[in-house]
Structure 1
Amino acid sequence: MGIAMVLDMASSATPDRLAMGRRSDGTTYGRLDELAARGATLLEELGAGHVVFVGVNGPVLPVLMFASARAGIPLAPLNYRLGADQLRELIERLDQPIVVADDVYVDKLSGLSHRIVTPSQFLELARTTERATGDRSADDDTAIVLFTSGTTSAPKGVLLRHRHLLSYLLNTVEFGSAGEEQATLVSTPPYHIAGLGAVLSNIYAGRRMVHLPDFSPQAWLDLVREEEVSSAMVVPTMLARIVEHLDGAPADTPSLASLAYGGARMPQPVLEKALTAFPDTGFVNAYGLTETSSTIAVLGPEDHRAAFADPALRGRLASAGRIVPGMQAQVRDEDDVTVLAEGETGLLWVRGAQVSGEYMGKGSVLDAHGWFPTRDRARIEDGFLYIGGRADDTIIRGGENIAPAEIEDVLVHHGQVREAAVIGVPDDEWGERICAVIVPNSEVHDDAQSFRAWCRERLRGSRTPDDVVFVDELPRTPTGKLVRRDLVDRICAVA
């Protein structure tokens, strides 16, 4: 039994309900089921060993996901923003790939020896193909291959098997729980686990998906209002742009009952402004990794409201929330063995049926008892999980380990700071110096010494940045993750 059962159940229960698209011309569950069944036959006829998708999130993604699942063929969505050479290198790592690429990316893949079709060509061919019968996938087959963003190293192909994805879904989503009037706005990219998780969770719940392939704050707000969207997910950079666009005005989105965010650290000032702009919307912080088939911890709407209303609980807005059902978490010391007491900061390990921890060509990194090393620094207090950044980001200054997040959380509360990142740069005396890289709110701002004094007043002296550098923007992935290695290279190059 594979993930194709999700569409089987939804199309059997509500074949005439809209699965995706606008209310005026959307696609029903019955029609989506038909396209996926015919697409499965087409993929078999094309001799696909993998289905590669290079394009923005849209109606073809659910068709490809369930067609490939029924055919027992892994789907591999790739980051369309990568360079041509990078895309070709990733495609060549896959066995017998058939590529489905948006028209605008076909030229980017010129010279590739494998079959390339556009989404419209794929759908047209599928319509004239016989409907596949049955489901050729098994629980332990690979359903999805997702390449990590590679913020600290070369991308690794994460293998997500059908059983991993189904475990996440069955533990966190109730079948058919959405009303027919409910709709979700999908603006996360298809090569991110959140984009794929949205397909599975919303179809399983019976919620209509509305796609926004090209994000802008105004387009996002317009679509929420026009289609009376009831739920949405954004990455922190999107929410920051929406808040900045509103400039203190209310969002005026009465239908929006739930707004989830995740994919990177959320600056608390941005979140507080968003809670003010969307007073009737329930906020959800979803923390997860590609290797864990999406969400492993959630800070729900009531937690947000309680923390926002009570200054004594305000710090919980910086947490990732509580571990979801079916998952276990523990914080270990740097030796990767010793389990730390509650409140102590160390490395986060997780375990559960939804965890893969398996990489293409490299095997599994789970320990002997099935625990996965997230490589995130974390602590657990009163049942709430707090993420302190990647272990690889740790700055070692004079033999002392310093988490950049601790300093960044202070800097983002400065009224003149739009964004801030803290990195370690080589130093002959200390090993590494602490460098704060700041994107100011305006061209007129305090000098570096004033920002150092701001930190010194709120942190121990050893946490005070040695250097403060001002830049126009920080290098980030499309999902908002800071690419620290690029920032270190940039700062060292001008030092």
Structure 2
Amino acid sequence: MGIEMVLDMAASVHPDRLALGRRDAGMTYQELSDVSSGGAAVLARHDAAHLVFVGVNGPVLPVLTFAAARSGIPLAPMNYRLATDQLRDLVGQLERPLIVADPAYRDQLDGAAETVLTSAEFLERARTAEPRTTDPAPDDATAIVLFTSGTTSAPKGVLLRHQHLLSYLLNTVEFGSAAEDDATLVSTPPYHIAGMGAVLSNIYAGRRMVHLPDFTPQSWLDIVRGERITSAMVVPTMLARVVEHLNGAPGNASDLTSLAYGGARMPQPVLERALRAFPETGFVNAYGLTETSSTIAVLGPDDHRAAMADPLLRGRLSSVGRVVPGMEAEIRDEDGTVLAAGGTGLLWVRGAQVSGEYMGKGSALDADGWFPTRDRARIEDGYLYIGGRADDTIIRGGENIAPAEIEDVLVHHDDVREVAVIGVPDDEWGERICAVVVPAGPEHADTAAIRTWCRERLRGSRTPDEVVFVDELPKTPTGKLVRRDLVAQVTAAN
């Protein structure tokens, strides 16, 4: 049985409940099921082996997800922000692709596959096609191909099989748990694991999905209030823009009972401002990777409230919480030795939802099924703390330094809006520590004062050797810092 069972179950239990869209013009679960079956027929008619989607998140994504599943082929959502050559190169890696694209991206994909349809064209054909009955997909068949963001290397196609995605759902989501008037606001892109996880988890729960393809703080607030949204997920940059837009005013979102965030490091001052702006909302930090089929650790609402109420627990806001049921985690050093609790090293995870498999490259799992996340981390009192990518480690005079350790201090400086710490080449030390700061106001803070701030709170070897001011940090659309671009920018300026 494959992920098509998610929609089968939802449509059988509450066929007339709204699945997608606004309250006054949405699509029911039965309608979603019918058009997805028609979409499967379209794919079969074209003998497609992969369904590629290039476009923003919207009602077409769930249709494509289940049309592909019911036709037994993988869905491959792609980053529509990539350059034309990059997009066409990724499409070229897939066998017999049929491409569905939003009109804005249709022309740049012309000729990249035998069939290229706009989203509207696919939906129209799916609505009028004779529904296709198919056998259930094998558990070990590939359901989704997601390409990694490429922040540290060339994008790799991660193969998420039906069994991985279903394991994630069965262990973390209760079927039919949403009330009929529950609604979630989806603003994460389709090519991100959170975007695909939103499709599966919300339909499995029976929750209506409302989409926001073009984020602005005001449009996000307008939909949350106007559609009486009960849950939402944002990346840290989105939440930062919302609290900055509110500027100390309350969020006035009484129906919003759950707000999840993830995808990148959340600055603690931003989180604390958000908790004050939405005091009745339960905040959830969800940590996961593409290779793990979404969330593997959660810091829940009770953890957030306890940390805000007790200064001794405030540090837990910088954790990603506890590992979810069905998952195991351990911290190893570079030689593979498992470290004791509290030790900082490399995070390895294991569980039925973990894929760790790359298209054309095989599996990254070790002999016992453990996946190397390449994230530096530690576990204290059962809480998982992520210290950044191992590739980001600065080696200064033979000492390994995690940028996150310094960033967590600097972000609390009143004159710092955002900060990233990088290593830049140095003839004497190998690398020197450079703090790249986006100032909080029009006036730059004194660099000596910022260095002193660090020296008073960290060991001297962690004090930045230099401080550079920039207007903004280079990031992916989901808020991940692209350190290699920042290093190139800083070194080119020196």
SS in structure 2 of the partner of residue 375 of structure 1:
strand
Q: Does 1:399 align with 2:392?
A: no
Cα pair 2:99 2:113 within 8 Å, conserved: no
SS in structure 2 of the partner of residue 426 of structure 1:
strand
Q: 2:413 & 2:90 partners in 1: Cα distance?
A: 42
User: What residue number does 1:224 align with?
Assistant: 224
1:108 Cα deviation from its structure 2 partner: 2.1
CA RMSD between the two structures: 0.7
Counterparts of residues 38-437 of structure 1 (less than 5 Å): 38-335=38-335, 337-437=336-436
User: What residue number does 2:471 align with?
Assistant: 472
Cα pair 2:185 2:232 within 8 Å, conserved: yes
Note the alpha carbon deviations across 1:99-128, whole angstroms, 9 max, x for none.
000001112223424311011100111122
SS in structure 2 of the partner of residue 137 of structure 1:
coil
User: What residue number does 1:11 align with?
Assistant: 11
Note the alpha carbon deviations across 1:216-273, whole angstroms, 9 max, x for none.
0000000000000000000000000000000000000000000000000000000000
Cα pair 2:98 2:113 within 8 Å, conserved: no
In the TM superposition, structure 1's runs of 4+ consecutive aligned residues that sit over 6 Å from their partners are: none
1:130 Cα deviation from its structure 2 partner: 1.1
Q: 1:181 & 1:127 partners in 2: Cα distance?
A: 26
Q: 1:345 & 1:126 partners in 2: Cα distance?
A: 51
User: What residue number does 1:27 align with?
Assistant: 27
Give the unaligned 5+ runs of structure 1: none
Normalized against structure 2, the TM-score is what?
0.99
User: What residue number does 1:459 align with?
Assistant: 458
Q: 1:464 & 1:38 partners in 2: Cα distance?
A: 61
Q: 1:365 & 1:388 partners in 2: Cα distance?
A: 21
Paired residue type of 1:420: V
Cα pair 1:4 1:135 within 8 Å, conserved: no
Cα pair 1:69 1:135 within 8 Å, conserved: no
SS in structure 2 of the partner of residue 435 of structure 1:
strand
Cα pair 1:350 1:372 within 8 Å, conserved: yes
In structure 2, the CA distance between the partners of 1:366 and 1:94, relative to structure 1 (3 Å rule), is same
Q: 1:239 & 1:285 partners in 2: Cα distance?
A: 12
Q: 2:431 & 2:457 partners in 1: Cα distance?
A: 21
SS in structure 2 of the partner of residue 413 of structure 1:
coil
Paired residue type of 1:425: V
Note the alpha carbon deviations across 1:155-204, whole angstroms, 9 max, x for none.
00000000000000000000000000100000000000000000000000
1:441 Cα deviation from its structure 2 partner: 1.1
Note the alpha carbon deviations across 1:303-359, whole angstroms, 9 max, x for none.
000001100000000000000000000000111x21000001000000000000000
Paired residue type of 1:213: P
Cα pair 1:340 1:346 within 8 Å, conserved: yes
Paired residue type of 1:234: V
1:134 Cα deviation from its structure 2 partner: 3.1
Paired residue type of 2:370: W
Note the alpha carbon deviations across 1:373-428, whole angstroms, 9 max, x for none.
00000000001000000000000000000000000001100011110000000101
Give the unaligned 5+ runs of structure 2: none
Identity fraction in percent = 76
1:129 Cα deviation from its structure 2 partner: 1.2
Q: 2:188 & 2:44 partners in 1: Cα distance?
A: 29
Note the alpha carbon deviations across 1:264-288, whole angstroms, 9 max, x for none.
0000000000000000000000000
